[in-house]
């Protein structure tokens, strides 16, 4: 074996201290294959070395939690023997390099994480961040990513029902593509990844292994430089057809009591999947790498172990079910092979053509993986209060609804099959959360993705807490009981003190809000080094929330009817700093609105209970988030193609604050009868005020101020994407 | 009396098979049986459905790879005997690729996958599939990347003259205009039959419109098939 | 032995992708371009010589092209 | 003057479509087929002679092919 040079070690992203640790663990020099294995296992992506210490502080248990972080996805109980399996995952770097394939394989990866656990995926969502629309790459990135997400999910036949899309120049060279998947499983049919039983066969199934994305996992842990754009071998091509076959064949085998443990081959492919399974079960593993089905000629053990070819799974099978298992895979036309078996050695032993080519101890490698307490320091902000122009209210509204961030996302979501499987009740343009029915029942679940990077950039702790609160609020507004979240923490380079500060603060904020709202974290993902040429993205901790709707009659969306009255629930202070309004005026300074979790909880519980007990009185419900009250009202009108008349507040001197302030913990309730509502709100000491009435008009009318024809609102709202992608 | 059985052909990559079975059972008082594409015999052939999805990944051209499956040979045999056959979405694409139906379904004019609710005008009620539909305009979802119906001038004329066009994309009031055409189909064609009128192919998904609040017109479509069994 | 099969749309069939490329190319300033059309090709490696071409013709007819919309042409590589 | 631009996947990149076609062809009984790969081609008609080839090269690089996963080749027809 070749001696390992300093350069080789460096190329594997392994620090000197880490290399010394390796020597200590195996008590000799590793060969290249072993070094490669260490490098991927200890990469940021697989080992979470910069964030592990902080992630451990997150609240992960609750009365509905069946499985928290640590498995392929989190699981929560939704009664009647049903459970939901869900997780979010990023594919940021690959999507920047090849948007179509990068995004597609991101969707494929997260679906495998979910169906590995025995669940059938029932909904996909995605949270997207692109650069300035004026940036020359933005258009092709947007079109490629959206098509990639759509084509993959559509082909597998899982509805893509929601998400978010946001443009900002901080993402010019580092776009974010976070995909979330939710699956349904019977509580007593969950599969885990803990390997057990000496001698049991290890079965490989799925696509043949190629040289794709070797070192993909370490790439995700390294900052971009200009050269990265020419990095060819990193690109993996997705095959949604094989994914569909994997899904169906695994579901079929899972009915047969054949599988002891199962795990998808995600980042770091065969290496991490086999290591993790063995390590969880305190087993040893023997693999015959020449048995692995290969797409290319002459693939080396190194390439086979590190390949990131998509659509592959690894499973430990009961020996007496081996034949049956292989037959099922054959029926589905998939390559399935026994590539090794479990041992009691505690080691991973790798053979190639009958020769041992690598041997590593499993437990120490996992247990002694690096964990850093990286230094963190707040960056001093030099406040530049620029002069900016104050835009009149109705101009501001039109500008907002016709701009990139608040235009109708129709161009995006029409490319996603939302109706397949027949259970989509609301996709995310019809309600604050997307809603899908549990098949053949009267139950449904609500799902939402949220993050306000503008807030997080100014104050990562508060901004992240607001993200959690907004997710919680969205679920309540749709008529659900919030259950739990998954998170996707997207940040820059953690080796920089101010970025590490953002990460720690953000996790603190998530913890604070989750604790208070009893909204545990059951799974998640971390994506670091989202940074190019020293420019980092804004901290973007995306929160994916899931809630339960007991009866589909309780679902609320953006509906309004003639003569309904619209009330605001919660206090309005008129916080304009960092608001969408200020931004379109050219003012980007300030702090996010304060978040009082006690009031958040109180208001939320009030709305939740009112929707449950007096649901008949409520036509629709909507939370107030960026864009403030006026945008929330305009969205209701656009969605219903109906007009309304909006009242002025008592203090007419602060109209902009009233209409565009982004104070937290507020909802809009659309009521067809108000007496009970007023009485109960008073009893609960919840602040309410009537803000609008749905009249027989084709206009969006602000009393004594202005009116805009609804047709015009809709036209403005629909124009941006069309123009942008069509130029 | 034992229930009659309707066959649904399932290919690797089909994904509307379950929902189709549910819709059929809900309205037609029959059992449904899935026929795996590799089966060379279709036992029950009172009526045959080919569901939507992405058979064989829709690689090469949507539907073409599925036409090489043994079960399709059976479908072709039964089609000659006059067995009613319905292909929805991918099923329609498969039926054109194996030449049981005229024409071809090209990539949508805007080159994008399109998923949305559309309105369908029932062009004529002279086919066994349409004569009992108790409405003139139906609202169904579409979800396809290749639904742009094309046929040569001659065959198009024959289709029209012979009243083989069953469904056209239209407005909510039934007007058939270019702006109601979601995918570029010639003459706004959304569904056709063969010359003998025992085979129907259509792009929209009635099986996805049987319980949703936004449209339940699929029920009307399936009710209309009752007499066939 | 490798044969290359070319498949393209028949005359008169509107190809939106080619149209879009043309539009974009014009916008990007490729002025000399008068027209653009597109197609697919398949490189097929076969083992024996005899009957090979016949098989490839059948394959092209039955699988690789759709006669309603496409033409094909076989060349030896 | 017409140039034909050939675009295909770089070596080592998975082509799931070609895989699916190969499997089906085998099922159909085309036994002599050993391998199949695929690509696209573009026929571009240009007006003037000079600088034409240069323009086509740029077009191929920037629009017709995706340099991350594809190669291209230009031939005069
Ligand atoms: N930010 C986070 N919050 C909570 N759990 C997390 C977070 N990041 C990762 N995890 C958990 O760590 C485990 C490993 O994640 P990951 O490496 O992404 O898994 P996989 O390889 O299956 O995609 C998972 O159980 C995941 O849920
Ligand atoms: Mg996994």
**Which pLDDT band holds residue A366 (cuts at 50, 70, 90)?**
confident
Give percent of chain A above pLDDT 70: 96
For residue A380, the model assigns a pLDDT of 82
Contact B59, D20 (CB under 8 A): yes
Least confident range of A486-500, A668-682, B204-218: B204-218
The tally of CA atoms less than 13 A away on the side-chain side of residue B7 is: 23
- The rounded Å distance from CA A405 to ligand 1 centre is 29
Task: State the SS3 of A503-542.
Answer: HHHHHHHHHHHHHHHCCCEEEEEEECCCEECCEECCCEEE
- Chain D contact for C24, CB < 8 A? yes
Ligand 1 binding pocket (C-beta < 6 A) is A 46, 55, 58, 69-72, 87, 89, 113, 266-267, 487, 489, 521, 523-526
pLDDT for residue A272 is more than 90: yes
- In this predicted structure, what is the pLDDT of residue A1? 41
Q: Give the confidence band of A227 by pLDDT, cuts at 50, 70, 90.
A: very low
Neighbouring subunits of C (3+ Cβ pairs under 8 A): B, D
Contact A328, A252 (CB under 8 A): yes
What spacing in Å lies between the alpha carbon of A517 and ligand 1's midpoint?
22
pLDDT tens digits, one per residue of A37-51? 999 999 998 999 999
CA B58 / ligand 2 centre spacing (Å)? 27
User: Region A456-468: what's the mean pLDDT?
Assistant: 98
- What is the C-alpha separation between B36 and B34, in angstroms, rounded? 6
The whole-number average pLDDT for the span B154-168 is 97
CB A159 within 8 A of CB A210: no
Tens digits of per-residue pLDDT, A400-445?
Answer: 999 999 999 999 999 999 999 999 999 878 999 999 999 999 999 9
CA distance B22 to B31: 10
A422 touches chain B (CB under 8 A): yes
Rounded Cα distance, A470 and A452, in Å: 9
Whether the CB of B103 is below 8 Å from some CB of chain C: the reply is yes
C23-65 pLDDT, tens digit each: 888 888 887 788 899 999 999 998 876 678 888 999 999 999 9
What does the pLDDT read at residue A214?
79
Which of A468, A505, A503, A509 minimizes the C-alpha distance to A485?
A: A468
Residue A228 has pLDDT above 50, yes or no: no
Q: Shortest Cα distance from D20 to chain B (angstroms)?
A: 7
pLDDT in tens, D22-49: 999 998 988 778 899 999 999 999 886 6
Mean pLDDT for the stretch of residues A563-581: 96
ipTM score for this prediction = 0.94
Q: How much is the average pLDDT of A78-104?
A: 97
Q: DSSP class of residue A614?
A: S
CA neighbor of B64 nearest in space, from C59, C33, A250, A457? C59
- Predicted confidence at residue A368, as pLDDT, reads 86
**Which helix (DSSP H) or strand (DSSP E) does residue A178 occupy?**
strand A176-186
Q: What is the pLDDT of residue A580?
A: 96
pLDDT (0 to 100) of residue C49: 67
The reply to whether residue B68 touches residue D16, judged by beta carbons under 8 angstroms, is: no
8-state DSSP, A648:
P
CB B110 within 8 A of CB B147: no
B199 pLDDT tier (thresholds 50, 70, 90): very high
- Does residue A221 surpass a pLDDT of 80? no
CB contact under 8 A, C34 and D46: yes
Which parts of A268-413 fold into alpha helices (H)?
Answer: 269-280, 301-306, 322-331, 362-367, 393-401, 410-413
Residues with Cβ within 8 Å of residue A679, at least 6 apart in sequence? none
Nearest CA-CA partner of A414 in B127, B144, D12: B144
Minimal Cα distance from C12: which residue of B? B152
What does the pLDDT look like over A173-188, one tens digit per residue? 999 999 999 999 999 9
Q: What is the mean pLDDT of residues C5-31?
A: 90
Compute the distance between CA of residue A22 and CA of residue A36 in angstroms, rounded to an integer.
12
**Would you place residue A616 in the very low, low, confident or very high pLDDT band (cuts 50, 70, 90)?**
very high
Among B43, A698, B41, CA closest to B33:
B43
Asked if D14 and A212 come within 8 Å (Cβ–Cβ), the reply is yes
Run of H or E residues at B85: strand B85-88
Q: Where are the alpha helices (DSSP H) in C1-77?
A: 16-27, 52-59
Inter-chain touch C17–B107, beta carbons under 8 Å: yes
pLDDT tens figures, A285-327: 999 999 999 998 889 999 999 999 999 999 999 999 999 999 9
Q: Which residues of C touch D59 (CB under 8 A)?
A: 25, 28, 30, 33
Domain boundaries along the sequence of chain C: 2-76
Facing D12 at nearest CB: one of A98, A238, A296: A296
A545-563 CB burial, b ≥16 within 10 A, e <16 = bbbbbeebebbbbbbbeee
The pLDDT of residue A213: 79
Closest CA to A454 of A629, A592, A627, A661: A592
What is the per-residue pLDDT for A234?
64
Give, for A655, the enclosing helix (H) or strand (E).
Answer: helix A655-660
pLDDT at A229: 35
Residue among A404, A310, A411, A409 at smallest CA distance from A102: A310
Residue A109 alpha carbon to ligand 1 centre in Å: 13
pLDDT at A596: 98
Of A497, A227, A486, give the one whose Cα is nearest residue A378. Answer: A497
Q: How far apart are CA A624 and CA A660, in angstroms?
A: 10
Q: Which residues of A are catalytic?
A: 45, 91
Question: What average pLDDT does range A63-68 have in this prediction?
Answer: 97
Which protein residue has the closest C-alpha to ligand 1 atom 19?
A: A72
Interfacial residues of D (vs A; Cβ cutoff 8 Å):
10, 12-16, 19-20, 23, 66, 68-69
Query: Does A384 score more than 80 pLDDT?
Result: no
What would be the CATH architecture of the domain defined by C2-76? 2-Layer Sandwich (3.30)
Task: Inform me whether the C-beta atom of residue B178 falls under 8 Å from chain C C-beta atoms.
Answer: no
Q: What mean pLDDT value characterizes chain A?
A: 94
Q: Are A145 and A102 in contact (CB under 8 A)?
A: yes
Least CA distance to C70: which residue of chain B?
A: B104
What is the C-alpha separation between A130 and D61, in angstroms, rounded? 24
Q: D33-46 and A706-709 as β-strands: parallel, antiparallel, unpaired?
A: unpaired
Residue A233, pLDDT above cutoff 60: no
d(CA A522, CA A62) in angstroms, rounded, equals 10
For residue A522, which ligand has an atom nearest its CA? 1
Average pLDDT of the segment spanning B166-176: 97
Please report which confidence band the pLDDT of residue A5 belongs to, taking 50, 70 and 90 as the band edges: confident
Nearest CB among B59, B112, B208 relative to A422 is that of B208
From CA B182, how far away is CA B203, in angstroms rounded? 11
Helix, strand, coil percent values for chain D (each to nearest 5): 35, 40, 30
**Mean pLDDT throughout A628-649?**
97
Tokens 């040979």, residue located: B73
Could you tell me if B201 and B127 are in contact, meaning their C-beta atoms sit under 8 angstroms apart? Answer: no
Residue A230 has pLDDT above 50, yes or no: no
Domains of chain B and CATH, by start: 5-228 (3.40.50.880)
- Residue A220 pLDDT level (bands cut at 50, 70, 90): very low
pLDDT higher than 50, residue A232: no
Closest Cα in chain C, distance from residue D32 (Å): 5
Going by DSSP bridges, is the β-strand pair A565-569/A355-361 parallel, antiparallel, or unpaired?
A: unpaired
> Six-digit token pair at A2?
């070749």
Of A660, A599, A671, the C-alpha closest to A629 is A660
| Sign of the alpha-carbon torsion through C17, C18, C19, C20 | positive
> Which tens digit of pLDDT belongs to each residue from A236-248?
899 999 999 999 9
Q: The pTM is what? A: 0.95
The CA distance from A488 to A521, in Å, is: 11
Cα(D29)–Cα(A281) distance, integer angstroms? 46
Distance A489 CA to ligand 2 centre (A): 17
A88 with A412: CB under 8 angstroms?
A: no
Q: Flag if A422 and B211 touch (Cβ within 8 Å).
A: yes
Instruction: Supply the pLDDT for residue D30.
Output: 87
| B170 is annotated as an active-site residue | no
């Amino acid at each position: 074996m070749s001696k390992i040079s300093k350069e080789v070690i460096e190329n594997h992203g392994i620090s000197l201290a880490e290399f010394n640790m390796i020597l200590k663990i195996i008590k000799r020099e590793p060969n290249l294959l072993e070094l490669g294995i260490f490098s991927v296992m200890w990469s940021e992506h697989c080992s979470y070395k910069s964030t592990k210490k902080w992630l451990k502080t997150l609240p992960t248990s609750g009365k509905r939690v069946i499985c928290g972080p640590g498995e392929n996805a989190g699981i929560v109980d939704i009664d009647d023997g049903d459970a939901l399996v869900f997780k979010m995952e990023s594919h940021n770097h690959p999507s920047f390099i090849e948007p179509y394939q990068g995004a597609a394989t991101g969707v494929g990866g997260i679906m495998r994480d979910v169906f590995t656990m025995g669940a059938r995926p029932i909904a996909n969502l995605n949270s997207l961040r692109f650069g300035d629309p004026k940036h020359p790459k933005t258009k092709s990135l947007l079109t490629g990513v959206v098509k990639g997400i759509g084509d993959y999910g559509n082909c597998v036949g899982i509805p893509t029902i929601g998400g978010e899309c946001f443009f900002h120049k901080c993402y010019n060279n580092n776009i974010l593509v976070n995909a979330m998947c939710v699956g349904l499983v019977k509580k007593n049919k969950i599969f885990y990844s803990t390997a057990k039983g000496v001698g049991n066969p290890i079965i490989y199934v799925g696509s043949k292994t190629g040289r794709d994305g070797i070192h993909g996992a370490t790439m995700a842990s390294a900052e971009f430089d200009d050269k990265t754009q020419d990095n060819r071998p990193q690109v993996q091509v997705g095959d949604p057809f094989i994914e569909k076959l994997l899904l169906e064949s695994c579901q079929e085998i899972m009915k047969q009591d054949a599988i002891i443990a199962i795990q998808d081959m995600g980042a770091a492919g065969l290496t991490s999947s086999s290591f993790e399974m063995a390590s969880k079960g305190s087993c040893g593993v023997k693999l015959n790498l020449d048995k692995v089905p290969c797409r290319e000629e002459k693939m080396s053990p190194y390439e086979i172990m590190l390949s990131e070819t998509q659509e592959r799974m690894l499973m430990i099978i009961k020996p007496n079910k081996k034949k049956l298992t292989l037959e099922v895979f054959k029926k589905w036309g998939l390559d399935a092979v026994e590539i090794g078996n479990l041992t009691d050695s505690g080691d991973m032993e790798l053979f190639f053509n009958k020769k041992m080519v690598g041997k590593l101890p499993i437990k120490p490698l996992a247990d002694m993986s690096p964990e850093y307490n990286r230094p963190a320091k707040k960056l001093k902000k030099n406040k530049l209060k620029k002069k900016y122009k104050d835009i009149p209210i109705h101009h501001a509204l039109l500008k907002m609804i016709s701009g990139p961030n608040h235009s109708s996302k129709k161009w995006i979501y029409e490319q996603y099959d939302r109706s397949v499987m027949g259970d989509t009740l609301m996709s995310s343009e019809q309600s604050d959360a997307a809603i899908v029915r549990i098949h053949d029942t009267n139950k449904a679940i609500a799902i939402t993705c949220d993050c306000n990077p503008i807030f997080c950039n100014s104050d990562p702790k508060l901004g992240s807490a607001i993200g959690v609160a907004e997710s919680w609020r969205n679920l309540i507004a749709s008529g659900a009981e919030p259950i739990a979240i998954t998170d996707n923490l997207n940040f820059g380079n953690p080796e920089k003190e101010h970025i590490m500060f953002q990460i720690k603060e953000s996790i603190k904020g998530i913890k604070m809000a989750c604790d208070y709202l009893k909204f545990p974290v059951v799974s998640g993902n971390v994506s670091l080094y989202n940074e190019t040429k020293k420019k980092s993205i804004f901290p973007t901790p995306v929160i994916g929330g899931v809630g339960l709707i007991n009866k589909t009659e309780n679902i609320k969306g953006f509906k309004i009817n003639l003569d309904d009255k619209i009330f605001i629930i919660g206090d309005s202070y008129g916080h304009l700093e960092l608001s969408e309004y200020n931004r379109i005026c050219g003012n980007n300074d300030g702090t996010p609105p304060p978040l009082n979790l006690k009031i958040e909880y109180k208001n939320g519980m009030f709305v939740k209970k009112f929707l449950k007990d007096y649901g008949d009185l409520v036509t629709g419900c909507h939370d107030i988030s960026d864009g403030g009250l006026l945008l929330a009202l305009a969205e209701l009108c656009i969605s219903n193609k109906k007009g309304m008349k909006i009242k002025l507040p008592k203090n007419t001197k602060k109209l902009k604050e009233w209409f565009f302030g982004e104070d937290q913990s507020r909802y809009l309730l659309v009521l067809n009868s108000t007496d009970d509502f007023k009485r109960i709100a008073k009893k609960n000491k919840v602040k309410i005020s009537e803000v609008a009435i749905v009249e027989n008009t084709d206009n969006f009318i602000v009393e004594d101020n202005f009116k805009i024809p609804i047709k015009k609102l809709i036209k403005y709202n629909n124009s941006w994407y069309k123009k942008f992608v069509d130029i | 009396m034992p229930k009659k059985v309707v066959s649904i052909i399932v290919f690797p990559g089909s994904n509307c098979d379950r929902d189709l079975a549910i819709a059929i059972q809900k309205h037609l008082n029959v059992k449904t049986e899935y026929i795996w594409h590799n089966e060379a015999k279709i036992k029950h052939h009172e009526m045959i459905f080919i569901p939507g999805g992405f058979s064989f990944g829709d690689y090469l051209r949507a539907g073409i790879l599925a036409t090489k499956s043994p079960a399709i040979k059976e479908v072709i045999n039964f089609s000659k005997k006059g067995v009613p056959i319905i292909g929805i979405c991918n099923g329609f694409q498969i039926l054109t690729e194996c030449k049981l139906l005229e024409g071809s379904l090209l990539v949508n004019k805007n080159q994008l996958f399109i998923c949305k609710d559309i309105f369908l005008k029932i062009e004529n009620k002279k086919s066994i599939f349409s004569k009992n539909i108790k409405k003139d305009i139906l609202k169904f979802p579409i979800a396809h990347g290749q639904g742009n119906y094309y046929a040569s001038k001659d065959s198009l004329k024959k289709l029209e003259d012979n009243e083989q066009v069953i469904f056209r994309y239209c407005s909510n009031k039934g007007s058939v205009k270019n702006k109601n055409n979601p995918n570029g189909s010639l003459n706004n064609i959304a569904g056709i039959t063969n010359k003998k009128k025992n085979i129907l192919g259509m792009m929209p998904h009635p099986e996805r419109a049987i319980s949703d609040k936004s449209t339940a017109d699929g029920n009307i479509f399936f009710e209309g098939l009752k007499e066939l069994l | 032995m490798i044969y290359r099969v070319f498949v393209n749309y028949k005359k008169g069939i509107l190809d939106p992708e080619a149209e879009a490329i043309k539009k974009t190319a014009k916008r990007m300033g490729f002025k000399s371009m008068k027209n653009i059309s597109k197609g697919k090709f398949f490189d097929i490696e076969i083992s024996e010589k005899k009957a090979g071409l016949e098989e490839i013709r059948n394959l092209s007819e039955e699988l690789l092209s759709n006669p309603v919309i496409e033409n094909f042409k076989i060349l030896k590589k």
